Structure 1
Amino acid sequence: MRRPTIPLSLAALVALALWGLAAFRLMPTGWPAWPFDPQAMSLDQILLAFGLMPRGGIALIAGAALGLSGALLQAVLRNPVADPTTLGISSGAQLCLVIATIYAPGLLDHGRWPVALVGAAGAAALVMAIGARRAFAPVTMVIAGMLISLTASSIATTITLSRGEYLLSLVIWNGGSLVQQDWSGVRALAMVLAVAGAGAACLVRPLRVLSLGAAGASGLGMNVALVRFAVLALAVLLAGAVSAELGLVGFVGLAAPALARSMGARSMGQVLALAPLVGALILSVSDGIVLLVAGATGEMFPTGALTGLIGGPLLIWLLPRLRGSTPPGTETAEGPVPRLFRPAPLLWGLLFMAVVLALVLVWIGRLPHGWAVLDWASFRAFLPLRLPRLVAAAAAGALLAMAGAILQRLTANPLASPEVLGVSGGAAIGYAATLFSFAMPGTGIRTLGTMIGGALALALVGTYARRRDMPAERVLLAGISVSAMAAAVLSAVMATGSAESWQVLAWLSGSSSTVGPGQAAVLGILAVGLLAAAMMAHRWLGALPLGAEVAVGLGLPLQLARTALVVLAGLGTGAATVLVGPVSFVGLMAPHLARRIGFARPRDHVTGAALIGAILMIAADFGARMAGFPYEMPLGLFASLLGAPWLIWLMLRIRR
């Protein structure tokens, strides 16, 4: 192994200098003497001894814990992009803690650790159950993990928005804040790290044998299932403990092992020994930068948001080096799908159903004393008010559904979803940047900023689509990486608590209540335009699921087809994002429902998905208006709640 002394020493000096600068700014002279006695200390000395010092310590310990957790996950799964963030472990802990904080605070009487570990273990078990059905294929594992992560995060956000008194504190905690009030967190995490480190040392040799592959390890007499369980238990313990103490600190577990290998660590023992040290320095330097910015501007934001900015680009950089691809046609759903030979009558029936459903839901309302059916005069009065939002919801659902159908055919992967393409995350960044760049931005400027952000994200993902040697499902993973970076930036923005952050939060939640006739008409025209474009690209959509080699053999311009289809999916997602926010999963559900009904040919599949997506979003709009009456729930997040059970059921039924 090459000696990593110089880069590690430089990183340690930078971390120490940044922490020392923050300490000197707080307490230029008269540092408290050991042992710390609050009765004999000034306020600044107390802040230093019980705030800044344990903060520096917990940054080192938590970074080491996440680095070791990521190294263990990457070793046992033989997957260089596995870590607690990409596999949804941290988000599972977050969801359980949010639920307990709001609905069952009594569960936290004995601390947050048991609750966080239950959530982390549940998410890990779900991802492992999905991965076991695909022989733990790297791409499938990460896609499944990050989709589960997005699902858990959307549910947690919905619950948080429903209880405004907890909103700011939960937003800050979710961003991964390292603020400390005493040394208890440092002692607890240090104990967990010591136990997990000893366990990892005992597992070095079994992991070295497992690196030969499950079949080879079994042939040598190893109990592969037991070793996997032990390693995953240690990784979940480390990640859950950090989540309980600090909230979501993303991608340290991804970056630390990758940087350790880049420094020359080759053997299993070297990676497991060096990754915690690198992780400790990453988180310490990141927290030092946060303290430096806070000292210069007076604005404090969660350290976990900054680590996401490190991990997102790193994940994109690792994509071309990721081994293992998904062979075309192997990621099938629960069996052979039916095929309609005369789909036209059913398509017309779905269109009729969408229109009737919209009219019926306009007729039904909820009043303070209960449900009511409007009379004809009231219906005529309410129709001009409700019709634009229904049209907009239906158009957004159709756009997301068509984008999902295009992506699933492009990647030959039923887990493909436009919500994780990265476009909506880029659009959110553009929207936030517009709010902070202009004093009072109008609708036109906000729309332009949103479009520019989405276009930049689309351009980044498109660079992968243009590479001939890049498997199609990696395009999806690149979009997930962009979404992760966007989520990190937005976490930092929302944790500031400024007026702009509340505007961003309201926009991210998605709502159709402010949609006017003009916006509804634009979305409807875009939906029709995307449908027409997909009809013209039906030959590409029919050939790409067969694989790149077959498509090229049929004379398909592979790079042009991939790029054009990614652009179409990105435009549809970006337009719908303005209404429903960044996550809804309608783009995942609708194409699958269309396939199960029997719409097999590309034109029928896209059209059927569009109609089903419109119906689903109309129903979601009605539920968002009525479920929390007299308050309105966020449209996009309500649609996520509808999509989460389908997502989990679908991934558990995917077989090798």
Structure 2
Amino acid sequence: MYAESAAIPARQPVLPPGLPITATLLWMGALLASAAPWFGELDPGALLAAFWTFDAGDYSSVLAHYSWAPRVSIAILIGCGLGLAGAVTQQILGNPLASPTTLGVEAGGQFGVTVGTMFFPGLLAFSPDLVAVAGGLMAIGLVIALTWRLGFSPVTVILAGLVVTFFLGAVNMAFLLLKGEWLGNLFIWGAGSLVQNNWHPFMELWPRVLALAVLMLLLMRPLRVLQLGQTSASSLGAKVGMIRLLTLLLVVLMTATVVSRVGVVAFVGLAAPVLARLLGARTLGARLLWSSLLGGGLLLLADTLAHWASTWGDGSLVPTGTTTALIGGPIILVALQGFKNTHHMPGQDASPAGFLPKRRPVMLVGSVAITLLLVTTVISMSWSPGLEGWSWTAFSQWHEAWVWRGPRLLAAILAGVALGLAGTLIQRMTGNAMASPEMLGISGGAAVVMVLIVLSGADIGRAGQLGGATLGAAAALGLLILLARKHHFAGNQLLLGGLALYVFMDAGLRLVMASGGTVASQLLNWMYGSTWLVSENEALGLLALILLISATLLLVVRPLTILPLGETSASALGLPVTKMRLVLLLLAALLTASATVVIGPLSFVGLIAPHLARVLGQQTVGRQLIVAALAGGLLLGIADYLSRIVVYPNQLPAGLLAALVGGVYFLWGLSRHGRA
């Protein structure tokens, strides 16, 4: 019987016909769309011949040979390389959402090029690859170190990777705002552009991409062993750690080499492998092959769309990085909706004994926080640098200084209060101590609308901008509700949907950086939390809104106390879990939007403030809300003051300083949970 069973040949997975058909249609569509503008000037034969020759007497032939053909070639080359790198990354981490993008590699590469431009221009001139590879290795090293103990679970890896991207992006933006005259063109390049005017970049790049691809393919056998799991692979003699490190090094080399040449277009490294999986590629060889082919077609299509958008618009460059991000967003969305393995969320498995500090009276902690807020207000209003050095403004002269210092300080404190309250609501509702308003994408919705308003040139005034940003936040909230509704607004799915929305905000940010100009610079200042545009009416309006919402929060203390017990227990106690989660989400979104339209979308105060309240011994819902609100106001109040004086007479956005501190805190928090 056993002999007969052994004689039965093992069946290989059948390749679904939809996969090659889709790949063929994608390539044909991308090639035809790219060639369509040339059909009126060159016949198909001459256009095809442009890849290797040209007619010196025909300007269109020369232009096609030195501009169109190398652009098509480099798009296909880079797309295939990034598709392969993404498939390999997913294989070694066992994570269908791992990619050079979600692991922060391309952000690290851009950070390396920025630092090289600022401090080591000689090294950058010698080889841009070195600094880009160093930055990519640093970024992926952070992500691996933070998620190693948590088993590389999908949600944890994405959270760590995107926060590393947030943090490095904030550092890059600080350099840009301080040294914009040196780094402006660098950030236009960093948005991702495949524009070519000769064959030199392609000829320089293809041997490197080919060599790295061959090395990855040589590791196919060890990569297949990893499919058995770490324990089984180790028992067969495979050095799992060495295989992972070597393969990740090749992925970083591939991604950083591309980033150093054409900027950030690495969403293809996520979209192509996910598409290959969704279309039925089951074996490792099939995934590597079809991910490479789909990557080439996707990037060529994205680049063609970017070229069309630049042509149809006012002539401004639309970067390829924007269109690849717009393609990557829906891909993430589709993949996230099918996730089952959302355990190991940071904070869920933490030991209560290790994270319950000594309880302290709320009156004592609140009094200290209020005192520090008053001290911050006095110092901010009175002690500041001027044209003649530092000076003290007497209280009797505050009415003169109020116009310049008062509204922005009040708005910063109120925005911190709003984010502290929103962060507490979100963390309690999701049961995730690493959640924050930024992670829900609501801030991103407001930011995208502001981007569109400014880039369209519409003169609608400050009130119109605030109204549009509010509508954007509401639209993002509505989309988030649709995404999470079938999961009963469960915490993990809310966070995953918010991360997908972040991808679209990233596309808008890259579009702004590519547009350049004074308007783009002002918009970027707002997006990273500048408060100097806030008027007194806006600050007072924010005060009224927060007071109204704070009164409403008194009604949700009991539901917030019951929800962490779990859906079954909460329902047994008579709580309508789904409806209550929706109400809490609406309140958190309104608080987040009100802060975002005033100081911008990125600060991480909503992450830090609830943690500070917990560290200060406030464990119950009501006490945590009060202390988190005070801590958030204090943090942004101090950040606003420092933003005025640190680089005087220049200014940094207050939200940028808060984001830098928040990013460090988040990374430290992840590592702490990893040790728990």
- Fold match by TM threshold 0.5: yes
Change (3 A) 1:540 1:482: same
Aligned to 1:261: 277
The correspondence for 1:273, drawn from 274, 280, 289, is 289
Change (3 A) 1:5 1:336: closer
The correspondence for 2:414, drawn from 383, 386, 395, is 395
In 2, the alpha carbon distance for the partners of 1:534 and 1:33 equals: 67
TM-score (norm 1): 0.93
| Gap regions ≥5 residues in structure 1 | none
Aligned to 2:7: none
Question: Partner of 1:366: helix, strand, or coil?
Answer: strand
Alignment map for 1:207-286 (pairs within 5 Å): 207-286=223-302
Q: Are positions 1:567 and 2:586 aligned together?
A: yes
Q: Are positions 1:8 and 2:27 aligned together?
A: no
Residues 435-478 of structure 1 show CA distances to partners (whole Å, capped at 9, x for unaligned) of 45674212332222111111010111122443346641221121
- Please say if residues 380 and 405 of structure 2, whose CA atoms lie closer than 8 Å, have aligned partners that are also in contact: no
Question: Partner of 2:634: helix, strand, or coil?
Answer: helix
Aligned to 2:76: 60
In 1, the alpha carbon distance for the partners of 2:477 and 2:224 equals: 40
Deviation at residue 338 of structure 1 after TM alignment: 0.8
Aligned to 1:619: 638
In 1, the alpha carbon distance for the partners of 2:163 and 2:50 equals: 50
The correspondence for 1:300, drawn from 309, 317, 322, is 317
The letter for the 1-side match of 2:491 is: A
Q: Are positions 1:200 and 2:216 aligned together?
A: yes
The correspondence for 1:103, drawn from 119, 122, 126, is 119
- What is the number of equivalent residue pairs in this alignment? 655
Deviation at residue 570 of structure 1 after TM alignment: 1.3
Change (3 A) 1:253 1:546: farther
- Please say if residues 90 and 120 of structure 1, whose CA atoms lie closer than 8 Å, have aligned partners that are also in contact: yes
In 1, the alpha carbon distance for the partners of 2:670 and 2:471 equals: 33
Aligned to 2:11: none
- Please say if residues 643 and 651 of structure 2, whose CA atoms lie closer than 8 Å, have aligned partners that are also in contact: yes
Aligned to 2:3: none
Aligned to 2:5: none
In 2, the alpha carbon distance for the partners of 1:571 and 1:210 equals: 46
- Please say if residues 26 and 48 of structure 1, whose CA atoms lie closer than 8 Å, have aligned partners that are also in contact: no
Aligned to 1:336: 355
The letter for the 1-side match of 2:253 is: L
In 2, the alpha carbon distance for the partners of 1:20 and 1:333 equals: 62
Deviation at residue 643 of structure 1 after TM alignment: 2.2
- Please say if residues 418 and 587 of structure 1, whose CA atoms lie closer than 8 Å, have aligned partners that are also in contact: yes
Q: Are positions 1:50 and 2:66 aligned together?
A: yes
Question: Partner of 2:391: helix, strand, or coil?
Answer: strand
Alignment map for 1:320-335 (pairs within 5 Å): 320-326=337-343, 329-331=348-350, 335=354
Question: Partner of 1:371: helix, strand, or coil?
Answer: strand
- Please say if residues 138 and 323 of structure 1, whose CA atoms lie closer than 8 Å, have aligned partners that are also in contact: no
In 2, the alpha carbon distance for the partners of 1:196 and 1:453 equals: 43
Alignment map for 1:640-655 (pairs within 5 Å): 640-655=659-674
- Please say if residues 584 and 637 of structure 1, whose CA atoms lie closer than 8 Å, have aligned partners that are also in contact: yes
Residues 539-574 of structure 1 show CA distances to partners (whole Å, capped at 9, x for unaligned) of 222233333333334333221122122212211111
- Please say if residues 272 and 294 of structure 2, whose CA atoms lie closer than 8 Å, have aligned partners that are also in contact: yes
TM-score (norm 2): 0.91
Change (3 A) 1:593 1:360: same
In 2, the alpha carbon distance for the partners of 1:81 and 1:568 equals: 30
Q: Cα RMSD between the aligned structures?
A: 2.6
Question: Partner of 1:537: helix, strand, or coil?
Answer: helix
Question: Partner of 1:133: helix, strand, or coil?
Answer: helix
- Please say if residues 405 and 587 of structure 1, whose CA atoms lie closer than 8 Å, have aligned partners that are also in contact: yes
Aligned to 1:318: 335
Question: Partner of 1:372: helix, strand, or coil?
Answer: strand
The letter for the 1-side match of 2:16 is: R
Question: Partner of 1:632: helix, strand, or coil?
Answer: coil
Residues 15-43 of structure 1 show CA distances to partners (whole Å, capped at 9, x for unaligned) of 221222344578789878787699x6887
Q: Which moved more, 1:469-478 or 1:132-141?
A: 469-478
In 1, the alpha carbon distance for the partners of 2:83 and 2:206 equals: 14
Residues 82-123 of structure 1 show CA distances to partners (whole Å, capped at 9, x for unaligned) of 111112111111112122223332220212111111111111
Residues 279-298 of structure 1 show CA distances to partners (whole Å, capped at 9, x for unaligned) of 01000011112223334444
Q: Are positions 1:143 and 2:159 aligned together?
A: yes
The letter for the 1-side match of 2:413 is: A
Change (3 A) 1:325 1:396: same
The letter for the 2-side match of 1:306 is: T
In 2, the alpha carbon distance for the partners of 1:13 and 1:558 equals: 49
In 1, the alpha carbon distance for the partners of 2:171 and 2:352 equals: 25
- Please say if residues 465 and 562 of structure 1, whose CA atoms lie closer than 8 Å, have aligned partners that are also in contact: no
Change (3 A) 1:508 1:33: closer
| Gap regions ≥5 residues in structure 2 | 1-14
The correspondence for 1:549, drawn from 553, 564, 568, is 568
